[in-house]
Homo-oligomer: A and B are copies of this chain.
Amino acid sequence: MSKRAPVLTPQTQDFPRWYQDVIAKAELADNGPVRGTMVIRPYGYGIWELMKSEMDRRIKLTGASNAYFPLFIPQAHLQREAEHVEGFSPELAVVTTAGGKQLEEAIVVRPTSETIIGQYMAKWVLSHRDLPLLLNQWANVVRWEMRPRLFLRTTEFLWQEGHSAHATQAEAATYASRILNDVYADFMINELAAPVFVGRKTPAERFAGAVNTMTCEAITRDGKALQMGTSHELGQNFARAFDINFLTSAGERKFAWTTSWGTSTRMVGGLIMIHGDNDGLRLPPRVAPIQTVVLAIKPDVVELAARIADDLKAAGTRVLLDDRTDISFGRRAIDWELKGVPTRIELGPRDIAAEKAVLVDRTNGTRTSIPLPGIVRSVTGCLDAAQVTLLNEARTLRDDRVADVSDLGHAREACEAGGWARIPWSLVIGIGEKELAEHGISVRCLQDADGGIPLSDDDPDLYALVARAY
């Protein structure tokens, strides 16, 4: 397909523009009428639904239950945890009129449900028997955005936020880390084919009110960092602020230890920027709303194409029959490439005569003539391979992009050249972190020598991964 004029701005020419183009042309999302809001179109929402379902399964395996807390929070309630509210106050949307009247007390549209969930946890947790309390919520939240970007940073976004309360610090720490590793990182690696780094945030980068923030960080194809999900140990800070206490089996009253953790529609943005190429999206089959398109080139092959689509569907593949033979073959092929459908069967009259079809692999761009008998196995094999290929490709790209450096100057150079740097934390801690920040570079996370998550940020021999971030 090298001869056609590019449908998208090439990635190397202007990556942010390419990103915008893909979202529009693959019909993923539109801007909403209120600045910074987003309309998620059916194809984009289909990706999110698959993500949600796989995330939800993993969250429930940790023992958590879903619940729903109100959109509206009295402004006064938000002020209980001082440090927390400070983090959010510039971003709040405030309702002052309702039901035709001025409200006596202003109401905030939730920027997170941290405070309201804290309040109800306090009501529900009475004894050690009520612990651990493991809650999750799928909901919309609002944070007023000055520089919105579809999926990455929108005034309203969809997310899940988990909140748990435990009897001991150790249990809370174990749970927060289980969420980061077994839910978030596992989901991102195995479903999104996104080889994220896991690590610990520096004190400066921690969530307001947390004692430890753990993160999954992805590298985009333009070499920047994208925070994909975080899990926080909140110590007893929120428990004290909201009075979440319990009676131990020995009859003592103690504060609980809480955690919180979240991921959002931002992951859709990540998916686009981690795998997309100059022809459009490339979706990992596990989160592709359409895994295979069966494209009938001419009307006389529609019947056979439909039969092949049925066979693929019966084999458990998410399949779509493209029988729009009144639209040119080329235009349709380009559209499916834009949408990143992992595999495409092209069926023309000549193919039928030869009992063959063309299997196009969107992931690596190959076109193979395959025999009609056994076509289902060819497609499912191609899908399995695509999932692995995308992960491996992203992993190679990731490893190529990270420079091991031993001073701040080289770290800065690596980031300014469109990459990341790994540098001993001892060289960055304190003044170094501020210096890098002046150049728009942040410490994405701290890791131990093996790439694992350190238990504290003053362990010796830690490494800092630094980059420019979205």
Contacts and interface: CB of A to CB of B under 8 A. Distances in A.
Nearest to A158: B68
A98 interface: yes
Interface string A401-412: 000000000000
B100 A70 contact: no
B34 A142 contact: no
B99 A97 contact: no
B90 A98 contact: no
A142 B97 CA distance: 13
Residue from A32, A66, A135, A142 having most chain B Cβ neighbours under 10 A: A32
A42 B74 contact: no
Interface string A3-40: 00000000000000000000000000010111001111
Given A37-B72, A39-B69, A73-B33, A92 B98 contact: yes
Interface in A263-316: none
A99 B91 contact: yes
A69 B140 CA distance: 11
Interface in A71-85: 71-74, 77
A109 interface: yes
A389 interface: no
Interface string A92-105: 11111111100000
B94 A97 contact: yes
A375 to B, nearest CB: 26
A90 B324 CA distance: 47
Nearest to A327: B129
Given A71-B140, A98-B144, A146-B99, A30 B156 contact: no
A41 B67 CA distance: 5
A120 interface: yes
Nearest to A134: B42
A119 interface: yes
A432 interface: no
Nearest to A155: B72
B116 A72 contact: no
**Which of A39, A45, A77 has the most C-beta atoms of chain B within 10 angstroms of its own C-beta?**
A39
Given A37-B72, A39-B67, A116-B33, A93 B98 contact: yes
Given A39-B120, A67-B42, A99-B91, A34 B156 contact: no
Interface string A38-58: 111110011011000000000
A338 interface: no
B39 A74 contact: no
A139 interface: yes
Contacts of A46: 65-66
Nearest to A71: B156
Contacts of A89: 100
B144 A99 contact: yes
A97 B96 contact: yes
Interface string A106-146: 01010000001001100100000100000100011010101
14 contacts: A30-B123, A33-B70, A33-B119, A34-B73, A39-B120, A40-B68, A42-B66, A71-B109, A72-B93, A72-B156, A95-B95, A95-B109, A96-B96, A98-B144
Interface of A: 30, 32-34, 37-42, 45-46, 48-49, 65-74, 77, 89-100, 107, 109, 116, 119-120, 123, 129, 135, 139-140, 142, 144, 146, 155-156, 158, 324
Given A33-B73, A42-B135, A99-B144, 18 more contacts: A30-B123, A32-B69, A33-B77, A34-B70, A38-B70, A39-B69, A39-B116, A45-B66, A46-B66, A70-B156, A71-B142, A72-B155, A72-B156, A91-B99, A93-B95, A93-B98, A95-B96, A100-B144
